[in-house]
Amino acid sequence: MRRIVLLVAASAALACATAASPALEPLRPTHGGEAAPLLRRGPLRIPAEHVRGRVRVIVRLTLPPLAAAFSDDLSLGGGSRRLNVQSTSSRRYLARLQQTQTADAAEIRRVIPSALVGRRFEVLVDGLTVDLPARKLAALAQLPFVTRLYPSLTYRLAMNGSPGLIGATGFWASTGARGEGMRIGIVDDGVDETNPFLASTGMSYPTGFPKGGRKWTTPKVIVARAFPGPGSGRGGRLPIDRHASFHATHVAGIAAGRAGTSSPGGPDHPPTVGLSGIAPNAWIGNYRVFNVPSRAGFVGNSPEILSAFESAVADGMDVINFSGGSADTDPANDVLIEAVHNVVAAGVVPVIAAGNSRDEFGYGTVGSPGTAPDAISVAAASNVHVFTPSLSVQDSAAPASLHNLPFRIAISTRAFAGWDTRNQTLVDIGSITGTDGRPVDRKLCGVTHPNALDTTLPRGSLTGAIALVFRGYCAISLKGVRAQAAGAVGIVLVDNRAGEPGPIIAPLSLPGGMVADLDGARLRDFLASVGGRASVRFSLDTQELHTARGGIMMSFSSAGPTDFGHLLKPDLTAPGGEILSSTLPEYAGAPFAVFDGTSMATPHVAGAAALLLQRHPDWTPLQVRSALVSTAGPAWADTARTTEASVLLEGGGLISVPGADDPEVFTDPSSLSFADLNVKRGPARKSLVLEVTDAGGGSGTWTVGVQPQSASAGASLEVPAIATLAPGGRVELPVTVDATAQAAAGDDYGFLVLRRGAVTRRVPYAFFVTRPALQDASPVRLRKFQVGTTATGASHVDAYRWPSAPFGYPPSLTGPPMIEDGAERVYVVPHLDRPVINLGVSVVAASRGAVIDPWLLGSLDENDVQGQAGTPTDVNPLTFDYGLAVGAAATVFPSLKRYYVSVDSTQDLYTGRSLNGRYLLRYWVNDLRPPSIRLLTHRVAAGRPTIAVRAVDTGSGVDPYSLLLGYRNTVIGAAAYDPATGIAVFPIPRTSPRLRRGRPAAVLGASDFQEAKNVTTFGRNLMPNTRFRGVRVRAVRGTAATWLLPQGRRCLRGTQTLLVVASSTRRIREVRFLDGRRPIGTARRGVAGLYSVTWRARAARRGRHRLRAVVVAARGGGTRASRAVRVCR
């Protein structure tokens, strides 16, 4: 996902930190190799305004919370395994906490009268939420009872065959356990207690229940609570909002849906019988936190999520399922890391989604709070079936493996005329001889450039046929254009990712869809045996197709290591693709629907944990995790299921409930994270202790070996070869990793394997041998405006991480995700001696054709990128340009430490051409205000004119891809922007609605670069660095013109560009430019309504001038506009 053209300013600006000369430059955003749309359907709404310049933080106080204070009394041996919040000792301690919190809150209000104290926390954190002016943050931090300030992070939402895939159906039969007596807390967007999958027939409330809003409880859903966030409105106070909720009901059904339920069918699946959750007789607790509306759906914030976790513990839940997440942030600033630790201390099992960001950002993408060391973090794998249309080869010689192939129809596809009623001809384009005399490349890319439209595919070679084309190396949409030019009536794309076929989001010019990589390879091989073409028939109705290809890692499933600390996550894998479960008919059009995501994998593990706790009520949360991790089987890296996935993807592997029921041993920790071994200055060595405990039947002698999946030359892992366990005993195994001074940099991971006879138990491990090139850099102190170049000097670094692929997959999929081959320049950020809200850098100008990438680092180490926000990419999912490279890097609520910025440049991954050049960098601290934006073209011609605005920002700078114009249920992105003047233009496309005569309403939107980095909500406003403004445009019948450049009453020197935007309901013949009555020039052709000429101001007299633009339209129409300027010497 690369920003192909950075905003260009005159080269003179690169010599000093002053504004660039005016130059409107085109914006050509791309995403995943495809052009990102400048036109979107849907409204651009103005959100509720909040007080700006304020922050909302969680203040941690001095006492340990209840769970931490009483953790030593919980059952690690005898006594109760779970924290009893209602006990006399607990109530006494809570009263003490409440008393000290009341005194501390009063002192906060005395010192900072404008502070607003909100939520209080007692069970998992001793703390308060405080809303206060940002400038008072340092004063708050200095209070003697404040031990830490946590920001408010923003979180978003990250079944029939799947129970059998993890062994749950066999477990039910062999043990009879189906979750009876277990309580699973669903912290999500609200559970629909009326869904038939959550029927309460035959169940009754446990003692002390129901709790919360009884109107929304049943003997199955025994708790219903809401935790409204800022801006959630009246609906946020409901435990379920039928106009907003959908996700939690799906999650609850996977975890504990009633066995034997049937779905009547829906838009995405046929009628289906025999549904069941993993622990079908468990109780459900409903804790609604995702209730704040946003462009990306309903989101939640860490204070409300923390409150929900506390309530779930206090209500006696055995397991907490959280199928949500946020971009990983510094754990020291993440309150949910501490909260999850104390959830475990309270005896409750926390099961957290790993996240769905690997397609977008690569490895190093597990989100918060799945990064918490104590969490069970869950990745997603494929199911044993899919719900899709199908493709079948009709040739009698075709093997059975080519019948009913899953065929995922493109989202934006055109009508499939007759595809399901008569046979079609499928042609392998690789069987066609191209115009160059060689077989046509099956990827069907351009010749002069992969994304050029030229091709060797002969015209007419696909007339009336459907083309079989392989995905990769060039834009999918252009593959369709090339096939259509050769006469194709459709296209079947072969995926290049493992697993079932993925969606095609890019627009296709002809009907088409995707098949899996393995199915595509089989089609290619069969077509080669029959001359390259065969008859096929499509079934376009959605069917349940059993593929027997379960357990393949989903390409979206977030991967380790953690961005901060580089620890091994996720912990486990469970089915998370094509999961059929309950939802709300108001959302899906039916009470059941098919979803994908680690959100769906997580409740599989939550249900499994409930089954294990039912069978083993004395197990601790860490023992539950150990049992699941050590007994897990392989998840797969390929569709043929021949290669096990990396532990960075699968963790311990695909869970096995029967195996976890009899683990024989527990290991602590359940995985071994050694982080980095830096060999830049010499050899490196780290050791951890693995404690192995008899879990019942595990006594005896175990052999211990190493099963590496990836190893670096010069690096090794050492562990004793034998471990002998006495009955009920434990043994400590020292595990040491070494890297010599000459060791190759690389990633080392795999399994430590314990064997006793036929029994095998696995412990995943990971460490990373590094040799940081930036460690030898001599950084320059960063100034507010910094000029530099990546075009001269040596390149020492070609990749930065973690995350590993902030620009998305490379064109080849398997190649390097980036090649930063510029001569990097390294800067040291001025030392932080007080708390700040944010800091960062943005590229405000670059030489033509350059792509400049700034990276924010926590040390002089290219492997120490400060998470997703520290990359040059927009990482805020609430923005319209999420995932695009925007040339800015930042951190939010940074720790008080030293930071560095490395400015580099990339190469074109298609051609290998270096995109280095000169740049102007801007550094900011505490950017809490959005840009200003105002309309320039108040009067335009009716129809589809060009709208011009001015957007400026004195902090981090305007993000040009954020500039939006909304009207008539349509949103248009800016086509060009000039950072020197702030002028942006929006030519209304032909496919957009017309502006009607009158004063139509519109909405303007603009964000700054800090908004692109906001993974926290530091104020009560969900998008604090975004400005929305409602305007009315006067649309007339006739002609209109507005001056854009030069700006009014400016002092001009040298040669100037004169620019107006003109529109007319008639054809514009020309625009004449005059200095008073003296002609300057005539523009007879405009581009998108923009007309310009060059004026030699230095030849004009000094003083005031009135420039005029006369627009001449057909049939005598026209208008004129003037601009007052001064010529200076």
| Residue 266 located in a structural domain | no
Closest CA to 768 of 689, 854, 868, 672: 672
Q: Please return the burial class of 1096, using the count of CB atoms within 10 Å of its CB with bins 0-12, 13-18 and 19+.
A: exposed
| Residue 636 located in a structural domain | no
537, 678: one domain = no
Q: In the listed set 546, 562, 597, which residue is the last one of a domain according to the structure?
A: 546
Q: Domain of 736: which CATH number?
A: 2.60.40.2310
**What's the distance, CA 775 to chain centroid?**
30
Closest CA to 866 of 909, 834, 899: 899
Paired tokens of 51: 């007080």
Paired tokens of 757: 């006879």
- Segment 208-213 long-range contacts (CB within 8 Å, at least 24 positions apart): 208/316, 209/283, 211/315, 212/239, 212/286, 213/238, 213/239
Residue type, 636: W
Query: What are the beta bridge partners of residue 231?
Result: none
| Residue 647 located in a structural domain | no
Q: In the listed set 504, 527, 546, which residue is the last one of a domain according to the structure?
A: 546
Give this prediction's pTM.
0.92
How many Å from the N-terminal Cα to the C-terminal Cα in the chain? 46
Q: What gap in Å lies between CA 576 and CA 574, rounded to an integer?
A: 6
At 159 the pLDDT is 53
**What's the distance, CA 1022 to chain centroid?**
17
List, for residues 462-491, the tens digit of each pLDDT value: 999 999 999 988 989 999 999 999 999 999
The pair phi, psi for residue 705, each rounded to 5°, is -135, 175
At 82 the pLDDT is 85
| Residue 301 located in a structural domain | no
Paired tokens of 976: 């060009």
CA distances from 362 to 366, 805, 817 (A): 10, 5, 8
Q: What gap in Å lies between CA 173 and CA 259, rounded to an integer?
A: 13
* Positions in the chain short of pLDDT 50: 1-21, 75-79
Q: Domain of 1115: which CATH number?
A: 2.60.40.10
Q: What gap in Å lies between CA 813 and CA 263, rounded to an integer?
A: 38
Q: What gap in Å lies between CA 904 and CA 921, rounded to an integer?
A: 12
CA–CA–CA angle 930, 359, 598 (5° rounding): 95
Helix (H, G, I), strand (E, B) or coil at 401: helix
At 75 the pLDDT is 45
At 731 the pLDDT is 96
Place of tokens 């990306």: 296
| Residue 734 located in a structural domain | yes
679, 538: one domain = no
Percent helix, strand, coil in the chain, to 5, is 15, 35, 45
User: Which one-letter DSSP state was computed for residue 1048?
Assistant: T
Which alpha helices (DSSP H) does 714-836 contain, by range? none
Residue type, 205: Y
Question: Is the distance from CB of 591 to CB of 585 less than 8 angstroms?
Answer: yes
Question: Is the distance from CB of 624 to CB of 610 less than 8 angstroms?
Answer: no
List, for residues 418-455, the tens digit of each pLDDT value: 888 899 999 999 999 999 999 999 999 999 988 889 99
Question: Is the distance from CB of 310 to CB of 338 less than 8 angstroms?
Answer: no
Place of tokens 């990633």: 747
Torsion sign over Cα 30, 31, 35, 41: negative
Question: Is the distance from CB of 999 to CB of 51 less than 8 angstroms?
Answer: no
Q: Domain of 455: which CATH number?
A: 3.50.30.30
Q: Domain of 104: which CATH number?
A: 3.30.70
Q: What gap in Å lies between CA 171 and CA 169, rounded to an integer?
A: 5
Beta strands in 110-158 (DSSP E): 116-121, 127-133, 148-151, 154-157
Number of domains in the chain: 4
Question: Is the distance from CB of 549 to CB of 522 less than 8 angstroms?
Answer: no
Three state DSSP letters for 1015-1056: CECCCCCCCCCEEEEEEECEEECCEEEEEEECCCCCEECCEE
Paired tokens of 316: 């006696």
Helix (H, G, I), strand (E, B) or coil at 1024: coil
User: Which one-letter DSSP state was computed for residue 49?
Assistant: P
| Residue 989 located in a structural domain | no
Mutual orientation of helices 247-256 and 598-615 as an angle, nearest 10°?
40
Paired tokens of 110: 């005395």
Paired tokens of 678: 């830096």
- Segment 74-80 long-range contacts (CB within 8 Å, at least 24 positions apart): 74/345, 74/346, 74/347, 75/347, 75/618, 75/620, 76/620, 80/347
Q: In the listed set 740, 770, 800, which residue is the last one of a domain according to the structure?
A: 770
Query: What are the beta bridge partners of residue 1127?
Result: 1052, 1103
| Residue 1114 located in a structural domain | yes
Domain, as residue range, for 92? 54-154
Q: What gap in Å lies between CA 360 and CA 885, rounded to an integer?
A: 11
Q: What gap in Å lies between CA 21 and CA 979, rounded to an integer?
A: 9
CA dihedral 376, 379, 383, 388 (to 10 degrees): 140
| Residue 831 located in a structural domain | no
Query: What are the beta bridge partners of residue 148?
Result: 60
Q: What gap in Å lies between CA 332 and CA 376, rounded to an integer?
A: 19
